[in-house]
């Protein structure tokens, strides 16, 4: 999910930016510090939307740079547990499939691609033994986020599943909807007798 987040931080503006307008120099420094930044609470910072306010600058002895208390907005991407996403399969390996989620890929382990025994072919196709379903690069799929890990900030991991009702390759979902009969309402025999007796 994409978010716009407002943050306050002390932003260091180096002397080489002193000839710029203060707000412009602060914006450059915020971009340098935050673009591509990854952590568990923010997620992945995509862009700095803008600077909201800049406080009075302070010079710290021995540093030479100015520090400004700044409030700014960031555009971030943070996958949420149980979030349902739709995307095209970008790549397939012998252990699973990858779907792009904003700036990173989510991985569907081979065991989570379909409710079947799945095999991998060298032409990058995952095939279900009994269902005869085939998953290949470019297929449009719906998946759910089941695990998110930011242990390695340079390589966050997002695990997905397609083994729940309403998930999987879009064609499979549509086939299932057309072949599944609509539920029939059950009428209690006792209720029917009571109604007839009341008449």
pLDDT digits (tens, 9 = 90+) for 142-169: 999 999 998 887 888 999 999 998 999 9
Of residues 106, 86, 89, 99, the one with CA closest to residue 148? 106
Half-sphere exposure of 64 (CA within 13 A, CB side): 5
Q: Is the pTM of this model over 0.85?
A: no
Instruction: State in words which class domain 2-77 has.
Output: alpha beta
| Confidence label for 189 from pLDDT (cuts 50, 70 and 90) | low
pLDDT digits (tens, 9 = 90+) for 58-106: 988 888 899 999 999 999 999 899 999 999 999 999 999 999 988 889 9
Q: Is 136 helix (H, G, I), strand (E, B) or coil?
A: strand
CA distance 73 to 4: 6
Q: Residue 47's beta-bridge partner residues?
A: 75
- Tokens 């081979």 sit on residue: 110
CA distance 96 to 62: 53
- Taking 90 as the threshold, does the pLDDT of residue 183 lie above it? no
CA distance 120 to 140: 19
Q: Is the dihedral of CA 168, 169, 174, 178 positive or negative?
A: negative
Q: What one-character-per-residue DSSP string does 10-62 give?
A: EEEE-GGGTTS-HHHHHHHHHHHHHTT-EETTTEEEEEEEEEEEEEEEEEPTT
- The mean pLDDT of 111-120, rounded to a whole number, is 93
CA distance 107 to 101: 10
Q: In this structure, what token pair is assigned to residue 8?
A: 């306050």
Sequence ranges of the domains in the chain:
2-77, 84-178
pLDDT for 181: 62
CA distance 13 to 9: 12
Q: Which fold has domain 84-178?
A: OB fold (Dihydrolipoamide Acetyltransferase, E2P) (2.40.50)
């Amino acid at each position: 999910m994409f978010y716009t987040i407002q943050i306050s931080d002390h932003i260091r503006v180096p002397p080489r930016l002193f000839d710029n307008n203060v707000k412009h120099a602060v914006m450059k420094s915020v971009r340098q510090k935050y673009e591509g930044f990854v952590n568990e609470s923010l997620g992945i910072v995509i862009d700095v939307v803008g600077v909201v306010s800049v406080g009075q600058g302070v010079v710290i002895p021995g540093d030479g740079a100015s520090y400004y208390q700044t409030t700014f907005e960031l555009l971030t991407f943070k996958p949420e547990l149980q979030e349902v996403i739709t995307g095209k399969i970008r790549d397939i390996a012998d252990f699973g499939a990858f779907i792009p989620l904003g700036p990173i890929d989510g991985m569907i382990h081979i065991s989570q691609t379909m409710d079947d025994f799945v095999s991998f072919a060298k032409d990058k196709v995952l095939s279900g033994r009994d269902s005869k379903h085939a998953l290949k690069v470019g297929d449009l799929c719906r998946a759910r986020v089941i695990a998110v890990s930011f242990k390695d900030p340079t390589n966050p991991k997002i695990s997905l599943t397609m083994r729940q009702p309403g998930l999987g390759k879009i064609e499979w979902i549509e086939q299932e909807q057309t072949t599944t009969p609509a539920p029939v309402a059950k009428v209690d025999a006792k209720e029917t007798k009571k109604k007839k007796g009341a008449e």
